[in-house]
Amino acid sequence: MSHVSVDLKGKVAIITGASRGIGRAVAARLASHGANLVLASRGKEALDETVHHLKDKYGIDAIGVPTDVAKLTDLQNLVNKAKAHFKQIDILVNVAGVSSQHPFHLQPIEDFEMLANTNYLGYVRLIRLVIPDMVARKNGHLINVVSGSTLVDPIPRGFLAYSSLKMGLRAFLKGLFWEMREHNIKVTSLLPGVVASDLTDHLKDVAQEQRERLMDPNAVADMVSFALSVPANACPLELAVINQLTTWTKPVIDYQQTQAK
Ligand SMILES: NC(=O)c1ccc[n+]([C@@H]2O[C@H](COP(=O)([O-])OP(=O)(O)OC[C@H]3O[C@@H](n4cnc5c(N)ncnc54)[C@H](OP(=O)(O)O)[C@@H]3O)[C@@H](O)[C@H]2O)c1
């Protein structure tokens, strides 16, 4: 349930990583605002379940397109299917991402490349595929779940690949904001703190009292609703919502408890 009122009836949004966690919460939120949806993730079963659930609950039109965002051909297929079904794309919400924790000297190079292809190129390539139509129409909004970890300097131990790629993404999106505003296209980066999801469940041995500090995925859906609620002549460039129940200098999840095997 959103605190802000947004009317997206007749609008079409692509959401990646929509089968669970933050992406699913964002998909439900946009459906509640009346948007029609194109949902993407690798696993078909959870994606289909999400599509059926949102269509039933909100009476919107939605399709699921199984997609590995690390693969350019899958992203091309996603955009082609979206345009074939809905004709145009008004909003893109890039969410699909993975976590990985390694001391860099022990990290398999393939793992770094997978992270770069998914968390960085997955966002950049999909944006590149949808913007020509948006530029031609002089309308569109690109919303990107980056990470609050980009605000932490130095990067927390074990998160060198994850956070440095998110920092690069944040820098890219900030530059894109200025290019795209000339075409009346909005670019927003979301910098959430630590959110309760499968991604953080994979962090090893997170103690119960630390789990209680994690934000709900709906906190990120709130950021999306806000980004879409501002007047046409304004755009939130970056929104950061960070965990409150921890001191700023102390990681939400202690390093000792999250070292990779
Ligand atoms: N959780 C946090 O604390 C937190 C904080 C800040 C930012 N973020 C960012 O938020 C995003 C989502 O995180 P989350 O916590 O919601 O994770 P999650 O619960 O693990 O969900 C990830 C979603 O992305 C999909 N996905 C993963 N790899 C994919 C790929 N290669 N191609 C297509 N879909 C893929 C997953 O479905 P399939 O596995 O079926 O593909 C799933 O739907 C990530 O970009 C993450 O970096 C998370």
d(CA 142, CA 7): 17
Tell which atom from ligand 1 comes closest to the C-alpha of 16: 34
Q: Which residues of the chain have pLDDT under 70?
A: 1-3, 201-210, 245-261
Cβ contact 188:237 at 8 Å: yes
136 Cα–ligand 1 center, Å: 31
CB distance 144 to ligand 1 below 6 Å: no
CA of 133 to the centre of ligand 1 (A): 26
CA pair distance 66, 55, nearest whole angstrom: 17
Between 160-181 and 121-137, two packed helices, what is the crossing angle to 10 degrees?
Answer: 10
CA Rg value for the chain: 18
Q: Are 166 and 149 in contact (CB under 8 A)?
A: yes
Q: Which phi and psi (to 5°) does residue 185 adopt? A: -110, 130
Residue 23 CB less than 6 A away from ligand 1: yes
Q: 120 an active-site residue? A: no
The predicted structure's pLDDT at residue 243: 82
Check: CB of residue 140 under 8 Å from CB of residue 89.
yes
- Please tell me the pTM assigned to this model: 0.94
Q: Considering 58, 123, 162, 255, which one is annotated as catalytic?
A: 162
Q: What is the pLDDT of residues 21-76, one digit of tens each?
A: 999 999 999 999 999 999 999 999 999 999 999 999 999 999 999 999 999 999 99
Q: What is the reported pLDDT for 132?
A: 98
